[in-house]
Chains A and B, each alone.
Chain A
């Protein structure tokens, strides 16, 4: 199955996230990533929903029925700029410290906090970049990590 990215413009009203996610789960569809945030237009938020669904047409139609959903665009992967943010807390000790920092630098991850036995890195990039960085850090012992969900914009319409 191929990945499909929906960019959903919604009214910034209470419960709109619940309406969208409940519509998706109620119809038996799964989502692999969902992010939501304000837009440049007041009172409008944008959700980026990533699904691996053949039934994406039906998802779009069902979401379009929600009164607070204004517009749904399926993004063309060829024309889409996509990014995601990651915060990752990894164990460090005297032996590993240098190589952890080196690998983080090479991955363009920014160190945002360093303690006695841990370091926290921030990385922005495509989901693949983030996956790669996670893999690199795994041997050192990942204590905790969080990803912000994918966001995307199309270069041309």
Chain B
């Protein structure tokens, strides 16, 4: 490229173009203002969010749907502090994110200047890595490094903080050089000895379980996992972050295990003699009390992050590597092995028959979320990208929605960030304008970031959002019912304030409402027919409904509460 004089701000925008970034999400402000000027002329699309947390989640949704990096831009001080939640969220769920923040001028740093916050310090524990850039000439190299760190190894958020005078400093474009990070060399290829040890355990196993999570999605290893499972008849449990990594339609798929997992998935782990854990981190929502977790099982634990191995559970065979390479290695070495698992598959199949997920939808009774989900799925022919908030509705979706493909299930798993659904769905829809993007949210969650519906309308991002309106913080209410003697302290919202239909209309979207079983099909068909505007459906549901199965926090996965009746024995 040519050597004309460019400001730091122009170098930022040129670097984004150079790094093939096509869409960014953000909110302008004083310190970042210089960068917004060249952005005005750039082919990079900027989506103007209404709040920086929303912008961050949009970038996350974009990244979760595409598997590519999401980019968010914010100003100094409150702009950066508002971003922190999305950074922490991306760190927990290993989502590749690049955050660019403005900072007060280098001459003012440390003086408590207007809109100054110590962004590098504040974001240190919420990012994989971060930078404070002090010279304009460093910008292209730092942004290249930031993208590299965010997208390789275990992906995560990287923040680049750039002071205003650095954005204004005149420098020249120098094409970034090769990456030289002596302290960062992720191991992708697994050690063949470990693969061999793993294969020996697999061959001896009579009750293997393939326990897969987000790492499979990040590594795009779903095809290989499918082969490993179906070729050797190994049943698969998919964690919350791993949903879609193996098709629910396959009989070997057992679905989500853990606190609100289905009986078969949770129990099969408890009974298994070998856990083949790939791209998972033995999260407490999966294991409950780890002392009682899969006590009879040996563990093969493969992860790209060595720190995850042995963190919660010792592994008999630790494997550091990329999920795809690990699974390819396992399949190669297993060859034509036939596992002796017929009895095991029968046990599992009986469990599935004896303990299915259930719900009861009465014709004239209040709507149940699982029923509505199944009706929506029938109408969408498995084509949707589903985005969720956090709480009861999230658990019901993970339980009842049938995911067939990776990157079609976007949610906040690790951090449990309410308010994630709508902005993340905007990000996904910005990435895939021609695909159906469905935000399936709770009313409590929706109210945390609902202003982003304006972003969806004004930026022409016609997603659909269903607000499961039970007038409560449903999961909080559920815990208060079970553990706090029905004392509903601060969990009640109301069904009717705000009026979600009017709110949607005022924000430039179409608002619909459904509260009766007889209306369900009609209303959701209407929702699916409108494609020129965002559509919100206020779906009024039963506030008394609780999510089951349930394993109380810190308990044993052997003691699963299957329905409200089991609460009497608690």
Contact = CB atoms under 8 A, between A and B. Distances in A.
Nearest to A43: B182
Interface string B141-177: 0000000010000000000000000000000000000
B133 to A, nearest CB: 11
Contact of B183 (A15, A26, A58, A69): A69
A58 B120 CA distance: 25
Interface in A26-59: 26, 57-58
A62 B306 CA distance: 9
B307 A58 contact: yes
Contacts of A18: 121, 124
Contacts of A61: 306-307, 311
B124 A19 contact: yes
B306 A64 contact: yes
B181 A67 contact: yes
- Centre residue among A22, A58, A66, A67 by max chain B CB count within 10 A: A67
Contacts of B181: 67
B129 interface: yes
- Centre residue among A10, A61, A69, A71 by max chain B CB count within 10 A: A61
A25 to B, nearest CB: 10
A19 B181 CA distance: 16
A65 interface: yes
A74 interface: no
A115 interface: no
Contacts of A65: 128, 305, 307
Nearest to A57: B310
Contacts, number: 40
Category for how many chain B residues contact A: 10 to 19
B215 to A, nearest CB: 15
A68 interface: yes
Contact of A11 (B149, B183, B310): B183
Majority secondary structure, A binding face: mixed
B567 interface: no
A14 interface: yes
Contacts of A10: 183
A127 B132 CA distance: 38
Interface string B237-270: 0000000000000000000000000000000000
B183 A68 contact: yes
A58 to B, nearest CB: 6
A85 interface: no
Contacts of B120: 15
A14 B132 contact: yes
Interface string B456-490: 00000000000000000000000000000000000
Interface in B174-195: 181-184
A65 B311 CA distance: 14
A70 interface: yes
B125 interface: yes
Interface string B307-319: 1001100000000
Interface in B105-127: 120-121, 124-125
Given A10-B183, A71-B183, 5 more contacts: A11-B182, A61-B307, A65-B307, A67-B183, A68-B183
Interface of B: 120-121, 124-125, 128-129, 132, 149, 181-184, 305-307, 310-311
- Closest 10 A/B residue pairs (Cβ): A61-B307, A70-B183, A67-B129, A67-B184, A69-B183, A70-B182, A61-B306, A26-B125, A62-B307, A68-B183
27 contacts: A10-B183, A11-B183, A15-B121, A15-B124, A15-B132, A18-B121, A22-B124, A22-B125, A26-B125, A57-B310, A58-B310, A58-B311, A61-B306, A61-B311, A62-B307, A64-B306, A65-B128, A65-B307, A66-B183, A67-B128, A67-B129, A67-B149, A67-B181, A67-B183, A68-B183, A70-B182, A71-B183
